[in-house]
Structures are given as C-alpha cells and as structure tokens.
Amino acid sequence: MKIFAALCLSLIAAPVFASGTLDPTFADNGVKVMRFDEVNAEVADIHDFALDGLIDHQGRYVSVGYAIEATAEYPFVGQITRHLRSGERDLGLAGQGFLRFRYLPLWGTRFNAVAEYNGKIIVGGYTDIGDDMMNPYNSSLVCRFEQTGETDPSFGGDSFSDHPGCRSYGELFSWGESSVIDMQILGEGKILLLIKTRAEGNSSYALVRLTADGALDQTFGDGNCPACGYVLSPASLGTLVHPVAFAAEEAHGIVVALDFSLAGNQDMAVVYHKIDGGMENGFSYDGKVSVGFDELFKDQTGETGGTSDVPAGIGFLDDGSILIGGTLTPKGVAAENPERHSAIGVVKFRPDGELDESFGIEGRFFSRYDIITGSYASSLKIQSDGKIILAGRCNVCANFNVEKFAVTRILSDGSAIDKGWAIPSSFFDSTLISVDDADSYYTNGYDTVNGSSAIALEKGHVVVFGWSKKSNFASPSVINPHIVRLELDDMFSDSFDF
C-alpha cells in the first residue's frame, strides 16, 4: 500500500466542503451507481460486482469485478468499467465504458484485482478450466488490456488461451485451485501477485512475481526454490489460511494480511517476506505474528466468547511499522445476532513484529457504534500522516437486513475516531449513506446492502469502489457496482492533481 506524502497548496477561490462529506460535484451528489442494462439492452444480468478499483494516469476511475449473466451456463464473466471524473461513462473503453471478458468461451471468469502500468490495465482473478465442463476448477489468471479495451498480445501468451494478452498460472498449483486476489506494480513494471490456493478443503497462499511482460521473475523465490518466481505460505501456518491483501515497499519488504484458524480461534495475522521472496525472520522471530481481540472485546463490551477476526487491508508506515485492520465478529452470547454486534479493529506492529503499545489500547484499536449496531470493514487505506481510513457497511435500524455504506477515519495514534471528519451520524461519526438513494430506478425499496471493496486517494478526495444491493416490490434483488467520492482535507504530493 502506498503511503502518501503531505503537500501544502495555496488557497484558491473554490467551494469548500467538509472533509468526509459527499462531493456534490461528482455524478449524482457524490455517488455513481452503474446500471448496465440501461447501457446495453442485450446485457441480461442478475448481479454486477466491483471488487477492486484505481485512479488511472488520466484521473479516470477504473473498477474491476464480475457480472452474473442470467442466460449463461457458467454465468461469471469478468468485467472492467471506466468513468470520467464527472461520473460519466468513458466511451473510449470498448465504446460503452465497460467490457465483459471470458478467458475461454463458455467458461466462467472473474476479476478480483487491478493495476496500471504504462497506461495499460492489468487485471487478476481466475478462470474456470478443466477437462470436464461439469466439474471445472479455478485457475489463477492475469490479463493486460489496452486503453481501448483490447487485450495486449505482447503480454503473457498462453497456447491454451483464445486471448493472447492473458496468462493462466494455474500450472504452478497443479494440486488444487488458485485465484489472484491482490496485485501491485513494483519497480521496472514487475507485477507482484497474491494468490489464494485451495486443495481438498485446505487453503493457503502464494506470492508470485512476474516481469513486465508476464513471465515468471526468476530473481524471486526463497530457500526452497530461489529462482521459481514464486514462494508459498509457511507450512507452520497450517492448512486453514485465508489471505486477504498485501503491501509491498522496496525499502521494507512484503507483508501479507490473512486470517487463520488454530485451536478454534480465528485471528488476524501478518506474514513478512523480504522483497525478493524469502521470509523476514527478524520479524517476530520467524517472520509471522498473529493477534486476537478476545480480551479487549470482553473488556470493552462485557461479552465473553471471543471474536473471529478477518482483516480488510494492510499497509506500511514510513518507519516500517505495519497497520492491519478489519472486522471482529463475536463468538459468544452476541453470536446469536453477530450482524448486530460486529466491530472494527486495527492493530499496529513495530518493524520487529512487537505490538506498538503507544497505539490505541496496547497496540490495538477497537470500536463499534453501540450494542445493537454492527459494523464491517472491507477496505483500508493509510494517509501520509498515519490516519487510517476504513470503508465498509453497518446496520442502521431494527431491521438488520438494512445496511448502509460507511466510511470512517481513525486518528494516527489509534486513540479515537477522527470526529473532526465526516458527517456526525451513526457508525462512529462517519459518512453514512444508502448508495441506492442516488438511483431513481429503485422505488419502495427494502433489503439494502452497501459494501465497499477498495479505497483510492487523490488530491482532495477519497474515492471508494464497491457495490450495492437493493430489492423492491416490483422486481427481484439487484446488485450494482458503485463509486462514491468524498471530500478530503489532506493533500498528497504523489496523487494526481486533476
């Protein structure tokens, strides 16, 4: 995760809006809800999801995910969308502002991650593959697209593919399934992938590094295979490892955020690799550390039974400290209605893997709105001053099927929510909206769920990519991608100024 440096700007004559509030100059009062059937009448969808997003070199908003096509036997189809800064679709992408993609005809494809290099769009995810169409398996996939939406034939290349410009890396994990869940561009255009692997009910992860043209980078590896181009998760983690995200910095290395189960406990964990792939054994003795919130949750709420903790994101601070944050779900009495009791938590580790006890309560931050309002974090971003932005959703009324999109910011010392930021409301004085309120298609709505998948920062704005679900009395449930743009008081020197 990139850490942004502060930039002082001269004042200009322009409207001033409170930081954390919706930007009224973007789309429909700060919210863009994407309705694909209104763009192309031939698109017959059940749901559309946005799972990752970025701000490209021209300041446009690119999101990736997948659609579920109602008429397809294997309904998942990879999807890329691109919007102008005004919120309008960018017709320069496939002539309609979005494209659908299948790696193999008829088989399912899903995009989970996106990056950009030299103006080209790089996506990662998986494709269905196999000899038996009745029992396909997931194979990790990376593709590179031109600005206009065609695949770039100079990338990867795979004789099994109908699409030069893509490459499946499933052959690295022939013993099971695999899927790219996160990616980042490093120096010289090298591509670092976090891949989740699964086999016979077990799960683990691999870090794979590619050259700029999609070949395995043989300078990346570990003691088991120094020139393989990939490393596998440490065997000592066990067989129930669920990777979520990673951060890589040339000056520090690579940290992977995951949750893993051991003796009935599900805790957040960090695994630290050197930038060339080997384990950083100077971090918490053997390169990995986990932390739970059971006692803190009990002290703060009085509820026993502990929590199951799932990270949403991870990042480095300039001094090499590490922040990881996510959702805490109770397992005790409160587990009867976990959606009412879940909370957000953030942990700060020193570069040596010890908890930084100057942060929050003994290195941890914990908060939830109240005893009957659950809160969920699904993405995390760190500002240059160490403040932590979390985006997700929360329950907001007695009907706990009704949830709203929420963004909040935590002070850099972990002492409290930044109450000088955002609209005073539920979810810890955060920005709290129903995204679908911006879409007049929905009337008499109920069962609203608004989720976030990725946060990007630009000069003066926080941009959140996600999805929203809404049902009404006239039609079945529909899920649509959305973009939310919020005002931001902090300025960043390596963010584009558009």
Residues 46-74: what's their mean pLDDT? 87
Q: What band does 421 get if pLDDT is binned at 50, 70 and 90?
A: low
Q: Which tops the pLDDT comparison, 222 or 493?
A: 222
Cα–Cα separations (whole angstroms), residue 32 to 112, 355, 358, 438, 483: 20, 40, 40, 8, 5
Length of the chain counted residue by residue? 498
Confidence (pLDDT) at 479: 79
Backbone dihedral angles phi then psi of residue 295, each to the nearest 5 degrees: -70, -40
The span from the CA of 461 to the CA of 223, in Å, is 43
**Between β-strands 45-55 and 61-69, what pairing exists: parallel, antiparallel or unpaired?**
antiparallel
Classify 249 as helix, strand or coil. Answer: strand
- Is pLDDT at 413 greater than 90 in this prediction? yes
Q: Which of 68-72, 97-101, 448-452 has the lowest mean pLDDT?
A: 448-452
> What's residue 401's pLDDT?
55
Mean pLDDT of 138-165: 84
Q: How much is the average pLDDT of 107-114?
A: 93
How much is the CA Rg of the chain, to the nearest whole Å?
22
Pick the range with the lowest mean pLDDT from 39-53, 79-93, 403-417, 432-446: 432-446
Q: Between vectors from CA 222 to CA 128 and to CA 195, what angle results, nearest 5°? A: 20
Share of the chain above pLDDT 90, in %: 42
CA 397 remoteness from chain centre? 27
Q: What is the pLDDT of residue 81?
A: 95
Do residues 490 and 6 lie in contact, with contact meaning Cβ atoms separated by under 8 Å? yes
Most confident of 198-212, 285-299, 312-326: 312-326
Choose among 231, 239, 327, 326: nearest CA to 287: 231
Residue (of 171, 174, 173) closest to 158 by Cα position: 171
* Model pLDDT, residue 43: 56
pLDDT bucket at 467, cuts 50 / 70 / 90: confident
The yes-or-no verdict on residue 378 having pLDDT over 80 is yes
DSSP string across 455-473: EEEETTEEEEEEEEEEE-S
**Any idea which architecture 51-439 has in CATH?**
6 Propeller (2.120)
Amino acid at 175: W
Are residues 168 and 179 in contact, defined by beta-carbon separation less than 8 angstroms?
no
Q: Comparing C-alpha atoms, which of 89, 88, 80 is closest to residue 62?
A: 80
Q: Where are the domains of the chain?
A: 51-439
Least confident of 159-168, 407-416, 447-456, 488-497: 488-497
Q: What is the pLDDT of residues 207-217, one digit of tens each?
A: 999 999 999 99
Higher pLDDT, 183 or 404: 183
CA distance 410 to 343: 14
Q: Using alpha carbons, select from 211, 290, 210 the residue that is nearest to residue 256.
A: 290
Backbone angles phi, psi at 39, to 5 degrees: -85, -45
- Considering only residues 488 and 217, tell me which one the structure prediction assigns the higher pLDDT: 217
Q: Identify the top-confidence range among 1-5, 98-102, 120-124, 440-444.
A: 120-124
pLDDT of residue 395: 66
* Alpha-carbon span 101 to 163, nearest angstrom: 10
Give the residue-averaged pLDDT of 387-394. 86
Among candidate residues 268, 270, 264, the one with its CA nearest the CA of residue 296: 268
Residue 423 token pair: 């609209």
> What's the pLDDT band for 199 if we cut at 50, 70, 90?
confident
Higher pLDDT residue, 450 or 61?
Answer: 61
Residue 128 tokens read as 């269905």
Q: Which residues contact 25 (CB under 8 A, 6 or more apart)?
A: none
| pLDDT given for residue 101 in this prediction | 93
Q: Supply φ then ψ for residue 56, to 5 degrees.
A: -85, -175
Backbone dihedral angles phi then psi of residue 54, each to the nearest 5 degrees: -155, 170
Residue 271 buriedness (CB in 10 A; 0-12 / 13-18 / 19+): buried
Q: Are 64 and 53 contacting, i.e. CB atoms less than 8 angstroms apart?
A: yes
Task: Say if CB 246 and CB 233 are below 8 A apart.
Answer: no
AA identity, residue 39: V
Mean pLDDT of 461-474: 75
Lowest mean pLDDT across 284-293, 314-323, 345-354:
284-293
What gap in Å lies between CA 292 and CA 328, rounded to an integer?
9
DSSP 3-state of 335: helix
Q: How high does pLDDT run on average in the chain?
A: 80
